[in-house]
Amino acid sequence: MKTPNRLYQSGQSLLAAAFGASATLAFSPFSYWPFMLVALWGLFTLLQTASPKRSAWLGFCWGLGQFTTGVSWVYVSIDHFGGMPAIAGLSLMALLIAYLSLYPALFSALVNKLPIRQPGIKWLVLAPALWLVIDWLRGWVFTGFPWLWPGYSQIDSPLAGIAPVFGVQGITLVLAILAGLLAIITPRWGHWQGKVRHRAIAAGLGLVAVSYGLGSINWVTKTDQQQQISLIQGNVPQALKWRPDQRWPTLMKYLDFTRQHWDSDVIIWPEAAVPALERELPRFFSQLDQAAKHNQTTVITGALDQNEQGAYFNNVLALGAGTPAYRYPAPTQYSKHHLLPFGEFVPFEALLRPLAPLFNLPMSSFSPGEPIQSALPANGWDYITALCYEIAFPAQIRDNLNADSDAIITLSNDAWFGRSIGPWQHLEIARMRALEFGLPVMRATNNGVTALVDEHGKLQATLPQFETQVLTTQITRTEGITPYRQWGNTPLWLWVIFSGGLGVMVWRRDTRKPSKISTNL
C-alpha cells in the first residue's frame, strides 16, 4: 500500500504529464494558444519545492505528456509505410518520445541546481535563459528536432509581434518569463505576496502590451510588383506513388494541370512530385523545360536523384523561364540539407542498420546538400527553398537569404502522416517563417495543407486536404527588412550571456554574506 507521500508524488507526476499534454492544444490545428502558458506555468510551479532529482523526473513526465500527444503523427509513417511489426513501431516511437523528454528533464534538473535564493532572478532571468539553451540544444543534436518550440503556438496570439524582432524563440523567452512570473505569485506555492505580487502582475501585463504593440509595426511594406503562381496539389496516395505502373499516370496528372495554368508566372509541384530519379527521365525534363520557356513560365518541382558515387539526394529543380536550357543534371537545383533523422538518414548508420530492420525505413538513405545554396530563379524573382522539414530551421533560411530574396517556397509531402495533426503543425511553422522574415511563403504539398502565407504570417489562400486541386493566386514582392532577418538570434544569445553573468554576480554576493556577518560578530 502506498504511503501518503508516495501517493502525493504519483499525483504530481500525473499532473506534470497532464500539463505537458495540454501544451499540444496550443498548437495547430487546435490553436488554443493560452494553453502553452498554462503548461509552462504548471511545470514551473511544480518545480518550486522539488529537489533537483525530483525536478528531473517531473520535467521528464512533462515531456512525456507533451511529446506523446504532440508528435504522435510520426507513428503514422512508421505504422503505414515502415513495413515493421506494430511492437517494433511502438518501441521506436517510445524511444523517440523518451529521448525528446530528456530535454525538459534536463532543464528541470538544472534550474533547481542553481545556487540562487532570489526567486525573481531565478525564475524571471535564469530559468527563461536556460529554457532557450535547452531548446536550442534540442534543435541541434543529431541535426536537431526543433518541432513544438513553445513560440510556434503563439502565431495568432498577442505575442506574435515579437517574431519579426526576436524570432520564434523570442516568443518562447517571453512565455517562459510570464510562466515564471505566474509561478512565483501563485497563492500557496508562490514567493511574492502583497504589493510585490501586484507590481509583478502589472509588469507581466506590460510585457504583453509591449509584445502586442510590436505587432502593429509594419517592418516591411508591399510593392506594386506581383507574380501569379499556381501550386499543384496532386493528392497521389503514398502507397501508389512509387509503383512502376503509376509513374506515367502520375506524371500526366501533373502535366495536365500544368498545361491548364501556363498563364501563371510560376507553377510549383510538391516535394518528390516526380516518382522517378531525375537521371531516369532526362528527356521528360528537357521537354518540360522547353514547354515552360515557350509559355514564359517557370516550373519548380521536387525530384529525387542519385549521383555517380551512389549517393541519393532530395532535390528541387527549376525549369523554364529564367533558367538555362536543361541538361542532366539540372543546372538550377536545390538539394535538401537538413535531413530528418531516421526518416531520411539513420544516425550512426554503420552501427544501427545491421542491428534491426526497423532502421531500414523507406527513403532513409539520403545525403545532405550544402548548407548555403543559391536561390532558385523564378521568372525574374529569387525563391529561397526549404524542403519539408527544413522550414523548421530559421537559422538555415536566414543564412540563405540575401538582398535579392523575394519569397520562400517550401515543398512537402505530408502524405506520410495521413490525417494526423502533423501537417497542421507544419503549416504553423511555415507561417512563423513568413512573419519572422517579412516574406511571402508558398507551401506546395502532395495532399495538403497547400497554402500561401503573406508577409505577416497570415493565411492568404489554402486548399482542402486530400483533394486534387490547384491553388492559383497572386504573391506580392515586399521591401524592407525585419530586425530578426538582420540580427537573427544574436539578441537572444546576448540575453543568455547577460543572464549567466547576472547569476554569477548574485551567487558570489550571496556566498560572501555569511563570512561578512561572522566577521562583524
Closest CA to 461 of 442, 434, 480: 442
Lowest mean pLDDT among 10-19, 38-47, 263-272, 359-368: 359-368
Please report, as a single letter, which amino acid is at residue 3. Answer: T
List phi, psi (to 5°) of 334: -125, 135
- Answer yes or no: are the C-beta atoms of 470 and 231 closer than 8 Å: yes
Closest CA to 173 of 30, 326, 40: 40
- pLDDT, residue 248, reads 95
224-273: pLDDT as tens digits: 999 999 999 999 998 888 899 999 999 999 999 999 999 999 999 999 99
Measuring CA to CA, how many Å separate 417 from each of 75, 437, 457, 472?
8, 28, 24, 25
What is the percentage of the chain residues whose pLDDT exceeds 90?
74
> Hey, what's the cell of 315?
532535390
Check residue 264 and report its DSSP letter. Answer: S
Mean predicted confidence (pLDDT) in 305-325 = 94
List phi, psi (to 5°) of 453: -110, 130
CA dihedral 175, 180, 186, 188 (to 10 degrees): 150
- Answer yes or no: are the C-beta atoms of 362 and 81 closer than 8 Å: yes
401-412: pLDDT as tens digits: 999 999 999 999
DSSP lists the bridge partners of residue 333 as 317
Instruction: Please state, in angstroms and rounded to a whole number, the distance separating the CA atoms of residues 490 and 497.
Output: 11
> Hey, what's the cell of 263?
498563364
Closest CA to 59 of 116, 119, 127: 127
- pLDDT, residue 379, reads 97
Lowest mean pLDDT among 39-53, 83-97, 224-238, 458-472: 83-97
Task: Give the active site residues.
Answer: 271, 336, 388
> Hey, what's the cell of 9?
508524488
Measuring CA to CA, how many Å separate 102 from each of 64, 105, 109, 130?
9, 5, 10, 14
Mean pLDDT (the chain) is 91
Instruction: Please state, in angstroms and rounded to a whole number, the distance separating the CA atoms of residues 418 and 204.
Output: 40
Record the pTM: 0.93
Instruction: Please state, in angstroms and rounded to a whole number, the distance separating the CA atoms of residues 521 and 517.
Output: 6
Q: Which residues contact 98 (CB under 8 A, 6 or more apart)?
A: 64
Over 70: is that where the pLDDT of 102 sits? Answer: yes
Over 60: is that where the pLDDT of 152 sits? Answer: yes
- pLDDT, residue 126, reads 96
Q: Cα 56–58–61 angle (5° rounding)?
A: 110
Place of cell 522539414: 389
Q: Please measure the distance between the N-terminal and C-terminal CA atoms of the chain and give it in whole angstroms.
A: 52
223-233: pLDDT as tens digits: 999 999 999 99
186-197: pLDDT as tens digits: 866 566 767 777
> 204 vs 364, which has greater pLDDT?
204
Over 70: is that where the pLDDT of 351 sits? Answer: no
Q: Cα 297–473–404 angle (5° rounding)?
A: 60
Please report, as a single letter, which amino acid is at residue 350. Answer: A
- Answer yes or no: are the C-beta atoms of 439 and 406 closer than 8 Å: yes
- Answer yes or no: are the C-beta atoms of 318 and 330 closer than 8 Å: yes
Instruction: Please state, in angstroms and rounded to a whole number, the distance separating the CA atoms of residues 108 and 54.
Output: 9
Lowest mean pLDDT among 198-207, 463-472, 507-516: 507-516
Over 70: is that where the pLDDT of 128 sits? Answer: yes
Instruction: Please state, in angstroms and rounded to a whole number, the distance separating the CA atoms of residues 363 and 33.
Output: 35
> 9 vs 500, which has greater pLDDT?
500
Place of cell 495568432: 156
> Hey, what's the cell of 52?
533537483
Q: Which residue blocks in 47-162 are alpha helix, DSSP H?
A: 52-70, 74-81, 86-111, 119-121, 127-138
- pLDDT, residue 347, reads 58
Please report, as a single letter, which amino acid is at residue 318. Answer: A
Q: Cα 462–468–471 angle (5° rounding)?
A: 35
**Coil/strand/helix, residue 475:** strand
Element (H, E) at 216: none
- pLDDT, residue 343, reads 63
**Coil/strand/helix, residue 147:** coil
Element (H, E) at 460: strand 459-462
